[in-house]
Amino acid sequence: MAADTSLTGPGALTGVASEPGVPKPDPILTGSGISRTFGGLTAVDVATFEVQRGAITALIGPNGAGKTTFFNLLTGFDRPQGGEWSFNGAALASVPAYKVARLGMVRTFQLTKVLAKLTVIENMRLGATGQRGERFWAAMFSGLWKPQEAEITARADELLARFQLDTKREDFAGSLSGGQRKLLEMARALMVDPELIMLDEPMAGVNPALKQSLLGHVKSLRDEGRSVLFVEHDMDMVRDISDWVIVMAQGKIIAEGKPDSVMSDQRVIDAYLGAHHDTDLTDEAEIESQAAAELAAQEDDHA
C-alpha cells in the first residue's frame, strides 16, 4: 500500500524535475517523436512527454501552440506524420478514434458536441459501452436489451444528479446553455467509464458561478481515481486544480512543472509575452536620427 501511494497520484510528482519531457513515476500516457505538419507549418513536434496516473495535468500555451491538434493526434482524430505513443502500455499509433475511447481514454471537444436533437438522458445513454441493443439483429427484440438499458439509465441518472442536470433530463440537449453543454459532455464522457479523461477547454464560455462547480467536478474525477488531462486558458483554474502543468508553444513542449514553478518560468513568460517584451526596441535617439534622415531626403527631392 505504501509503495503504491509513493508511485501513483499527484503526491508522487513532488520530486520530479521541472524539465520538458521529464519521465513520471507512474505514467498512464507516454509518447515520443510525435509530429504533425500542415503543408509547411509544423503544428505539433513533441519530443517526449508523459502524463502521471491519478493526477490532474494541465496543457497550456498561447493560441496556435498546437494543443488541440496534439489532443486530436493522441485520441486518433488526426494522424501524425510520425511518432509513437501508448496508453497503459498499449501502442496507439494508427488506432482509430473509437478504439482509443474503448481502451479508456475519452475526450471532450473545445466546441461542445452535444447531440442537439436527442434528449439529455438519451445523450447520456449513448455513452455506455458494450450495449447489446447496439447490435443490429438484437436491436429488433427489446427483451434482449431492456434489462441492460435499465442499468444504463440508472447510472446515467446518477451522473446527471451529480452534475446538476437531472432537472433537464427530458429536454433536448440543443436547448441547454453553453455551460450546461460542457457539463453534459463531461457527464457523457464518464458514461464510458474512462481511466483518462481529456478535456479540451472545459471552462471556455462558462459563467463564473458555474466555473466553480465545474472545478469541483474535475477535482472529483481525480478523487475517484481517474487521470485528467485538460487544455485551458484560464490561469486561475490551472493554478487552482492542476497537479502538473505542461506548456506548449509553437508545437513543442517548452516547460513542465508544478503550477507555481511553471508560472514563473522564464521560457513560459517568453512564450506568452514574446522574448523581447521587456527590452525597449525603439530608442529615442534612434527615432530622432531616422526622422532627420527622412527630412533630409525630402529636401533633396524638392531641390
Partner 1 sequence: MDFGALLQNSLAAALGPDAIVYALAAIGLNVHFGYTGLLNFGQAGFMAVAAYGLAASIATWGLPFWLGILIGLAAALLLAVLLGVPTLRLRADYLAIATIASSEILRLVFGSVTLVDWFGGSNGRQGFAGDFYDLNPYNGRLDFGLFSFSRNDAWVFTVGWVLVALSCLVVWALMRSPWGRLLKSIREDEEAVRSLGKNVFAYKMQALILGGMFGAIAGFMLALKQASVIPTDYATDITFFCYTALLIGGAGRVLGPVIGAIIFWFLLSFLGGFFTRAAAADIIPSVIMTDTQASLVRFILVGLGLMLLMIYRPQGIFGDRREIAIDGR
Q: Which amino acid is at 183?
A: L
Residues 233 and 200: their CA atoms lie apart, in Å, by 10
Q: How many residues does the chain have?
A: 303
Nearer to partner 1, 113 or 219 (CB): 113
Q: How far is the CB of 286 from partner 1 (least distance, A)?
A: 52
Binding region for partner 1 (CB under 8 A): 75, 77, 96-99, 101-102, 106-109, 111, 113-118, 122, 125-127, 129, 131-136, 139-142, 145, 149, 172, 174-175, 188-189, 191-192
Q: How far is the CB of 12 from partner 1 (least distance, A)?
A: 29
Q: How far is the CB of 118 from partner 1 (least distance, A)?
A: 6
Nearer to partner 1, 122 or 240 (CB): 122
Nearer to partner 1, 109 or 272 (CB): 109
Q: How far is the CB of 109 from partner 1 (least distance, A)?
A: 7
3-state SS, residue 197: strand
Residues 213 and 233: their CA atoms lie apart, in Å, by 18
User: Cα 27 to the chain's mean position, in Å?
Assistant: 17
Rg of the chain over Cα atoms, rounded to whole angstroms, equals 24
- Cell numbers placing 47: 519530443
The stretches of the chain forming alpha helices (DSSP H) are 2-7, 67-74, 97-103, 120-127, 136-139, 146-162, 178-191, 208-223, 235-241, 259-263, 266-273, 284-302
Q: How far is the CB of 117 from partner 1 (least distance, A)?
A: 5
Nearer to partner 1, 13 or 187 (CB): 187
Nearer to partner 1, 111 or 287 (CB): 111
Q: How far is the CB of 50 from partner 1 (least distance, A)?
A: 23
Among candidates 76, 83, 23, 28, which has minimal Cα distance to 194?
28
Nearer to partner 1, 11 or 174 (CB): 174
Q: How far is the CB of 157 from partner 1 (least distance, A)?
A: 16
Q: How far is CA 283 from CA 176, 280, 287, in A?
A: 54, 7, 7
Q: Which amino acid is at 132?
A: R
Residues 248 and 151: their CA atoms lie apart, in Å, by 42
Nearer to partner 1, 193 or 288 (CB): 193
Residues 126 and 115: their CA atoms lie apart, in Å, by 10
Contact between residue 231 and residue 71 where contact means Cβ atoms under 8 Å apart:
yes
